[in-house]
Structures are given as structure tokens and as C-alpha cells.
Amino acid sequence: MIDIKDKIAELLSGQVEDLTKEEIKGMIEVPQDKANGDYAFPCFRLARTLHKAPPLIAQDIAAGINGDPVFEKVEQVNAYVNMFISKAEFSEITLEAAQKDDFGSSDEGKGKTVIVEYSSPNIAKPFHIGHIRTTIIGDSIYRLYDILGYKVERLNHLGDYGTQFGKMIVAYKKWGNAEELEKDPIKYLLYLYTKFHKEAEEDETLDDQAREAFVKLEAGEEEEVRLWKWFSDLSLKEFNRVYDMLDISFDEYDGESFYSDKMQRFIDELRDKGLMHESRGANVVDLEEYGLGTALITKSDGSTLYCTRDIATAVYRKEHYDFYKNIYVVATQQNLYFKQLKMILKLLGYEWEKDCIHVPFGMVSLENGHILSTRGGNVVFLEDVLNNAVDKTKEIIREKNPDASEEHVDEVAKEVGIGAVKFQELSNNRIKDYTFTWDKVLNFDGETGPYVQYTHARCASVLRKAGEETVKKAEAVDELDLSYISGENAYELVKLLYVFPEVIRDAAYKYEPSILTRHIIDIAQSYNRFYHDEHILTDNEDEKLAKVALTIAAKNVIKTGLSLLGIKAPDRM
């Protein structure tokens, strides 16, 4: 697609010899007041080199570029050159590009590998509503980088190691039942985990037994390894059922245990470089001079911690993938931890630590004000949320369309219900904390996923009514009379479609899917205003073709936008 700003910069460079085309492009502004044009060029900076008043410079430049077909008109206002783009020209450039399936994609990431680590639930614990943020935000970040041409590795760094497994092993040996575990693995493991913590309040020796069990696990003791592997396999089977519902998959499931034989190298390196010392029997790295406290490397019993494993993980990823970026989608609670991890990598001499990016997000709390807690059994299972969303959607579809087939209702309910949950997550700025409420998650009115999906279905309905022959003609954009795309709502929609590729870049490089979500809402609202205020399938063939072409483009961009959020775009609702 032709870059309008680039085109303007090229024209202006013929008038301004002292600045490069890129410098000129960087100076071009988009006026807040539409009365001042679509683009404006300020001339203050040129006064020093041209020895001329800025308004006079602006007057000369305006006269020099006026008449180019890209402009409807060019005006000099004080020190500014105000440029109004030809609506027909702009519409043709935009619609021709926006109708294509690859609109918004680029090859700017070619040859660069981006790792996105997300979801990463703990084995033997529930996949609860608290995991939804990392899972869905991470998946969207993967999709955003993928469309920009990067080679993206989706990693699920499972929490499958640590003292908590010592607790699970002890709990199972004391109170476990194999039949109950196989029947409902996650809920039964949650029961054992909760029971362990309640019993540990009365019997302090249980924590010591758990630490001993984990040390045995690290040492490869047969019984501990067998139980750990059993818990892991059952848990992953349960997790994958939820991932299937969410239409989310991963390239690797290398959990913390994968790096258990790779840590000693870095423990030795920290010691050899004088970065690690003993404190109360534990090994630590003192980061106080950097304002980052103290980082634990090994406990007094010799067992390892998150930091030990994450040092090994980061180095393995660099050596194995040679990443351009190594992105961790992990809650804000771990901000200090990731600063510590990066500082340790830097002190070890790994200059690429700057390419390890922590993407934090806010926490989820329940309506009663309690934070989700696995220890206390205070969880809302993610699978229950998704099933409830689908069931609620079925009720709404049946109310609005009682004659719909059961097969159609089931298919759309899944796409819309799960889409509603995803969209609600991704429409909020990721850094903000929020309270989980059923009413908000299952609200199908206003600026929601179902509203955007319905707009896509509305576009599809218009195209079905237009007929295949009309749609085919409307796809030949360069042969259409686009002067009919002149109404305020129609042209506003064209402008929103035009900036879609830039919105994708902005969302990707800021790791903020809500930027894209907001833009898709704007496109949906704009199309609906256009739909209500203008007659699309008119008797005037030329006008109809122009407006159908705009509908094709809007439908395509909405579909692409939703796909970057991991949401389906049904043609019928």
C-alpha cells in the first residue's frame, strides 16, 4: 500500500532542499482539527536556513505542491502548509489494500526470532481465572509479531519444579487415593494441596518433609520422580482441554524441570566471578548497590530456586534460538524479580540481557475482595468461566433466533462466548488490576467482542444480499467511481482502515493488544454509523459498487483484527 505520508514527504522534498525526505516525513503532522486538513507541515524550522519568515515559506511550498492529484486542496495558514487529501485517491489506495487478506502484514521481522513465554501454569494446580491474562495477552502478542514477519516461538514454561512438588508428593503419600486422582486430577490435587497447608499449620514438620521430598526429586529418586511425572502428565492433559477451547497452542512445553541439569554451570560461574556468596547457609547474589535487594540462587539445603532455573533458561534460549527478543508475559508482582534476573545476566557479561523483555500485567481479584489463592482453595476455574460464557451465549442466540439449528447455535455460541471472554481481557490496558465479575465478563452490550463480531456478520450479510457478481465487480477497486465514498461516516471509516497496519505495529512494539482492540471497536462503530446513515445497496450501480467495496474492506479488516486477538469472526449470528 502507498504510504500517504511518504508520498507527501517526497513531494515536499522537491520544495525543501535543506532537509532529507525522512526528516520531512518526521515533521509532517496530523491536525487535531479536521478543518486544518488531513496533514500539515510546519515551516518554523526552515526560517533559519532560508532566511525568510515561516508564513512566506509555507506560502511558497503550498503553491509548489498544489495541483498534484493526491491533494483535493492545499492551503497556507500562518506558518503551516495544510493539505487535504483527495478523498477518491485516498479511498482507492486504502480499499485496494484493505480488501486483501494480507493487509496489515509485513516482512519487517524477517530473519529475527522472537520468543514469547506465556500462560505457564503450575503443574498439579488448577488452571484458574488468574491464568487468563498471561495466556490471552501472550497469545495476542505472538499473533502480532507473527503478522509482522517475525519467526515466533511460543513457549509454555510450565511450573513443574520446586518445593511445591515436595508438598504434593508428601500430601499424596499421606492422604492420596489413585482412583480419585485419575477421576478428576486437578480438583483432587487442589484438595491435597489445600489439605497440606491446613495440616502444616498444626504440624510444622510437614514443611521439612516437603523440602526433603523435593531434594530427593532433584536427586532423581525413583518414587519421587514417578509421582512427579504422574502429576505432570495428568495436569497437562487437563490444561490442553482448556487450551483447545481457547484455540491456543504452543511450540514448546519446556517446563522448569527441563533446565534442572543446566543450572550447575551458572552456579559455578557466579561463584567463580565472585558474584555469589553464602548467607545463612544459602547462596545469594547481593544487588543492593543497584537498589534490587538480594537474589537467592540456592537454598540452605542445596535445592534451587526460580532464579537459578531462569538464568539457565535465558542462556539456553539465546544459544538455542539466537533470539531478537525474549518476552516474558508475567504479572506485575514479579517486576522486581525480573529486574534482578536481568541484572544478574548483565553482571555475568551477557549483553543481550537488554533483549529480555518483561511484559507485566495487573492482577485479578474476586468480587469479595480476596485475591485468588490456590493454597486456600479460593479459585475460579477458567474452564468454568468459558463454559458459562458459551451457555449464556446459547441462551441469547435462542432468544433472538428460535428457529436456528442446534448445530449453528453450538458453533456460534462457542465462537462468540469465548470471544467475549477474550475481548474483555484484551480491551483493558494490561497493566491495570481488575476485579473479576460474572456480569462484566458475560456482558454482551456496548463495546464488547460480540458487538464487533456482529458487525462482521452484518458486513457478511450485506455482501450476501449484494450477490457474488456485485462483490466480484467491487473487488476491482481501480475501476470504481469512489467519489461516492464522500459521506462523513464513510470517509471516516476509510481513514480508520488506512491506519490499521500502523495500529498493529504500535500494539506489537508496545506489547499492548488493547491498542488494537480499541481500534477494532472504532472500525465497528464507524461501519455501523455508515450502515445506518447511508443506503448501501442503492439502485445506482456505481454508488452501490463503491459502498460494497468499502464493506468488503471493513469486513476483512475486522476479521484480521479479531484473529490477532485470537477471536473468530462468524459470518452469521
| 320 included as an active-site residue | no
128 given a catalytic annotation: yes
Catalytic choice (25, 87, 128, 299): 128
Cα separation, 105 vs 247, whole angstroms: 21
Question: Annotated catalytic, 157?
Answer: no
Strand 294-298 relative to strand 282-286, pairing: antiparallel
Q: Which amino acid is at 271?
A: R
8, 28 contact by CB (below 8 A): yes
Please tell me which residue in 25, 87, 125, 318 is annotated as part of the active site: 125
Q: For residue 382, count other CB atoms closer than 10 A to its CB.
A: 22
Residue spans of beta strands (DSSP E) within 360-429: 364-365
Task: Return contacts of 262-268, CB within 8 angstroms, 24+ apart.
Answer: 262/312, 262/316, 263/304, 263/308, 263/309, 263/311, 263/312, 265/312, 266/308, 266/311, 266/312, 266/315, 266/348, 267/297, 267/298, 267/308
Q: Could you say which of 87, 131, 342, 544 is catalytic?
A: 131
**SS3 for 362?**
coil
Across 260-345, where does the E strand assignment appear? 276-279, 282-286, 294-298, 325-329
Contact 266, 314 (CB under 8 A): no
CA separation for the pair 99, 85 (Å, rounded): 21
State how far the Cα of 565 lies from the Cα of 137, in Å rounded to an integer.
Answer: 8
The stretches of 176-329 forming alpha helices (DSSP H) are: 178-183, 185-202, 205-218, 222-246, 264-272, 306-321
Residues constituting the chain:
573
Is residue 501 within 8 Å of residue 107, measured between CB atoms? no
- Alpha carbon 350 to its chain centroid, in Å, reads 28
CB-based burial label for 233 (10 Å; 0-12, 13-18, 19+): exposed
What does DSSP say about strands 364-365 and 434-435: parallel, antiparallel, or unpaired?
Answer: parallel
Asked if residue 94 lies in contact with residue 497, where contact means CB atoms within 8 angstroms, the answer is: yes
Rg (CA), the chain: 29
Who contacts 26 (Cβ-Cβ below 8 Å, separation ≥6)?
A: none
Active site residues: 125, 128, 131
